[in-house]
Amino acid sequence: MIRYVLLLLAVLCSVISCSGDDGGNGDNNKPEIPIDVDKPPMADKPIQMWIDAHANFSRFSTKEAIKSSLEKMKATGFNEIYVDVKPGIGYALYDSDILPQLTKWDTETVTRDWDYLGYWIEEAERQDIKVIASISALGFGYTRKKEGLIYYNHTWDGKTQMRMNNNNPNDLVDIRNEENVDAAMLNPCLPEVQSFVVSIIEEIATKYPKLKGICLDYCRWWYDNYGFSDATISAFQAYSGETVTDKNNILTATGAPGPQYQKWIEFRSMTITNLITNIRSKVKSVNPKMELHLWASADWGSRYGVGQNWASKNYKLDGWQFTSNYSKTGFADQLDVFSLGAYADAIWKSEAPNSVWSVENFVTTYDKFTMGDCKVNGSINTPAYGSNASKVSDAVYLCLKNTDGLMVFEISHVINFNQWNAIKDGINRVYK
């Protein structure tokens, strides 16, 4: 221990002696990273990579590509992966009896005679890497090319999310007809939609018992002006006990909140929480040890618009948009792991002093919302940092130091910007 103290004193003296004029080249906004003398010898937290289906559709068309990538991830320090197996187009990258297989997306065609998810699990197990299967919970169509399940299966006609165009109650737009949304999404307040989504979860949990967990993505309303179909209004009236005589009583013609807006926000959030609760119940009935994960933006203050109250039910909140019962819509207690989307361009709070939007802020404030109800892994969006190795390393360090783990989004960007060494450096700042 004396040797470590002497080493620390030597380092501090060196820092003091060199802390004069840096010639204008120093980064005065970046806080000093503390020196961790007694770092743990190995990673005791999840260090996860996300494998997006669309971005890597052709990349992982062979077993050898999967094998070599897993070896690279293992060497870098990753010990878990999220494999996207039911993306927003609505088809399956696993052995499904419910969904058609995904063999074509946009201009790319990939045909396999082997189980995509099955091989990831098999090879990851050999590398001692855990696998979580991720799904776009409510996404079932690719809007840019009008491809996917809900474009070709008319069972889902009238059961997609509807937007009130220009806040005009008489001008509704089906999300299937949009072009600038990530996925055409089903309406979560419909019982048949919830049952369908739960059946997909059940199938994955049943067929792949070696999965560590299942992660929900796009488990939300697309945006705050979606959900104005007659079916949704009817469900809202049944939930609230209120009658909607004019949809502009929810959102006015100018887009401002109307007199029924607060109750509307509560209803939309409760709809999503009920879906998550039903999914959790099904997962645990199939395999009590299988975890339920969910990714959502770390900016809790904006999530009410899409129905994602990832806070604890015990979180005491205030705000003009919340009813006294809004806390009951919190779903942190229904998750095993929340993947906290700290997708900010700014790394340090000093870079965005008047905003919540920094990785540092998100990974040091989340617990006031979740209150220990679930584990929380900080998640970073690496393309925001490109080839800036220092930023990538800082973001990795902050997540691992301040949350229960790390998720890196996503492997195609890590490859394209060659961020492997920067990620490893960030990990090594926490672990030996």
Segment 391-406 mean pLDDT: 98
Give the pLDDT of residue 43. 76
| Residue 88 CA from chain centroid, whole number | 13
Give the pLDDT of residue 318. 85
Give the pLDDT of residue 279. 98
Give the pLDDT of residue 24. 39
CATH 1.10.10.10 fits 47-151+191-221+268-431, yes or no: no
| pLDDT for 25 beyond 60 | no
Each residue's pLDDT tens digit, 212-237: 999 999 999 999 999 999 999 999 99
What is the residue extent of each domain of the chain?
A: 47-151+191-221+268-431
pLDDT bin (cut points 50, 70, 90) of residue 372 is: very high
Give the pLDDT of residue 362. 98
Mean per-residue pLDDT of the chain: 92
Give the pLDDT of residue 19. 39
Segment 105-110 mean pLDDT: 96
Give the lowest-confidence range in 19-23, 189-193, 201-205, 329-333.
Answer: 19-23
β-bridge pairing 406-409 and 337-341: unpaired
Question: What 3-state DSSP class applies to 103?
Answer: coil
pLDDT bin (cut points 50, 70, 90) of residue 32 is: low
pTM score above 0.85:
yes
For 399-424, b/e burial (b = at least 16 CB within 10 A) is bbbbbbbbbbbbbbbbeebebbebbb
| pLDDT for 432 beyond 60 | yes
Q: Nearest CA to 77 among 39, 36, 119, 48?
A: 48
Q: Nearest CA to 270 among 341, 319, 322?
A: 322
Give the pLDDT of residue 26. 42
Give the pLDDT of residue 173. 97
How far apart are alpha carbons 52 and 407 in whole angstroms? 13
How far apart are alpha carbons 232 and 220 in whole angstroms? 14
pLDDT bin (cut points 50, 70, 90) of residue 41 is: low
pLDDT bin (cut points 50, 70, 90) of residue 180 is: confident
Segment 192-198 mean pLDDT: 98
Give the pLDDT of residue 3. 39
Segment 127-150 mean pLDDT: 97
Give the pLDDT of residue 38. 64
Give the pLDDT of residue 36. 52
For 175-193, b/e burial (b = at least 16 CB within 10 A) is bbebeebbbbbbbbbbeeb
How far apart are alpha carbons 432 and 428 in whole angstroms? 6
Give the lowest-confidence range in 59-63, 207-211, 278-282, 428-432.
Answer: 428-432
CA-CA distances (angstroms) from residue 196 to 90, 159, 192, 268, 276? 12, 12, 6, 19, 13
Question: pLDDT above 70 covers what percent of the chain?
Answer: 91
How far apart are alpha carbons 380 and 360 in whole angstroms? 11
| pLDDT for 13 beyond 50 | no
How far apart are alpha carbons 1 and 42 in whole angstroms? 20
